[in-house]
Amino acid sequence: MSPGLIHVQSEVHFHDLLKKNELVVVYLKAEWCGVCTRFGPVVERISKEKEKVLFLIVDVDKSPTIQKELKSKAMPTFVFFLDGKEFSRIDGASEQMLQNYTETLLLQKQPSFMENGILHIVKEKDFNESLKNHANCVVDFYADWCQPCKMIAPSYEELAKNTTDVLFMKVNVDNLRNVMTKCRVTCMPTFCVFKDGKMKEKIEGGSMQLLKKAIDDFKLSTVEYTKRDLMAAEAEIKGSASKSGTEKNKATMSPKTSSTGKKANPTIAQPPTKSAHQVSSSSSTKKSTTSSTHSNNNPPKMDASPQKPKVVKKEASSNSTPPRASQNILTSPYLSSVPPFRSPHKEQKVKKQKSPYLN
């Protein structure tokens, strides 16, 4: 076993190793996990290649408290620590991702560097300080797997060499997810143009023509351009959208309705109830329905003749609920194709007619 790979024996042992080492990768596994068994040799090989990183192996069955502390719900899980604090994590087994994330962890102990007139950002701290210390900044968000990013790289370097009073930076989104999320970058390549710490333009797709125009706009001194801040505007829109959604959910709830939902919502229209004394005076209604004025000694006679079902149409009301399909099956807007209604009594008279419900 290599010195960079240690099996954690207890929770105290785990926290002691985190305090004494700056760069740590915690590998949570289980004996019943087949993927973990196959991935074990990969972890051991990478731990030998990355001598400056300490790899800790935690068996979740033997150390459930550590699993709970790290909020691991899938096996395997890799949690990366920088100076005792969680830096990033991977849920699942991917050798390439483990290599990339470990390399990113190593870069955190290295300073950002200049190359071909471009500042390559390694830490989020360096990114924030660059925006504060330079009035005009351009950031190229890229990824190693992005082919368009590689195509525009020479043009970006040429523009950086020929432009003065502007700091050109590059950010690898796989290494600095926090910066990508902060700038709300969703595709690669993306150029973000900053002036006095405020984002003035966001150019998706890597258009050099639009980037040059955005750099020329640094000379603008209008009130609209000075106040423009895309990051703050997008954050405000997102916050207002979530707030309006919360207020909408509260508005639909009744103040009398409990969390258990036992009481009915008064905003929902209830079907009208008829009194037992409301009896129709028409003779046709008396024959087909049971009147509430009949006594118990003289029960009403039931009409044995079959009656054709009637379709009762209810008047539309702004407070009433949408009609169900059973209320008006012929004209219901919620059904796309319904066979025509046929009375079963008519079906007995026409014996040779086939049922419309049979193919």
**Average confidence score pLDDT of the chain:** 76
Is residue 289 pLDDT above 50, yes or no?
no
For this structure, is 137 an active site residue?
Answer: no
Q: Distance between CA atoms of 117 and 38, rounded to whole angstroms?
A: 45
- Report CA dihedral (196, 202, 206, 207) to the nearest 10 degrees: -90
Show the domains of the chain with their CATH numbers.
5-108 (3.40.30.10), 113-215 (3.40.30.10)
Is residue 261 pLDDT above 70, yes or no?
no
Average pLDDT over residues 189-212: 95
- Higher per-residue confidence, 95 vs 166: 166
Tell me, what amino acid is at 146? C
For residue 350, what are its two tokens? 């026409």
Please report, rounded to a whole number, the percentage of residues in the chain having pLDDT higher than 90. Answer: 43
Band (356; pLDDT cuts 50, 70, 90): low
Average pLDDT over residues 335-344: 45
Is residue 328 pLDDT above 50, yes or no?
no
β-strand partners of 77: 28, 91
Band (239; pLDDT cuts 50, 70, 90): low
Q: What predicted TM-score, i.e. pTM, was given to this entire model?
A: 0.53
Is residue 31 pLDDT above 50, yes or no?
yes
Lowest-pLDDT range of 64-68, 199-203, 278-282: 278-282
Q: Distance between CA atoms of 139 and 179, rounded to whole angstroms?
A: 11
- Higher per-residue confidence, 241 vs 87: 87
pLDDT at 281: 43
Lowest-pLDDT range of 39-48, 164-173, 332-341: 332-341
For this structure, is 192 an active site residue?
Answer: no
Is residue 189 pLDDT above 70, yes or no?
yes
Is residue 327 pLDDT above 50, yes or no?
no
Band (309; pLDDT cuts 50, 70, 90): low
Q: At what angle do helices 208-216 and 147-162 cross, to 10 degrees?
A: 30
| Catalytic residue from among 149, 183, 187, 192 | 149
| Catalytic residue from among 146, 183, 187, 192 | 146
Neighbours of 15 (CB within 10 A): 14
Q: Distance between CA atoms of 47 and 24, rounded to whole angstroms?
A: 10
- Higher per-residue confidence, 163 vs 259: 163
Is residue 106 pLDDT above 70, yes or no?
yes
Lowest-pLDDT range of 208-222, 242-256, 315-329: 315-329
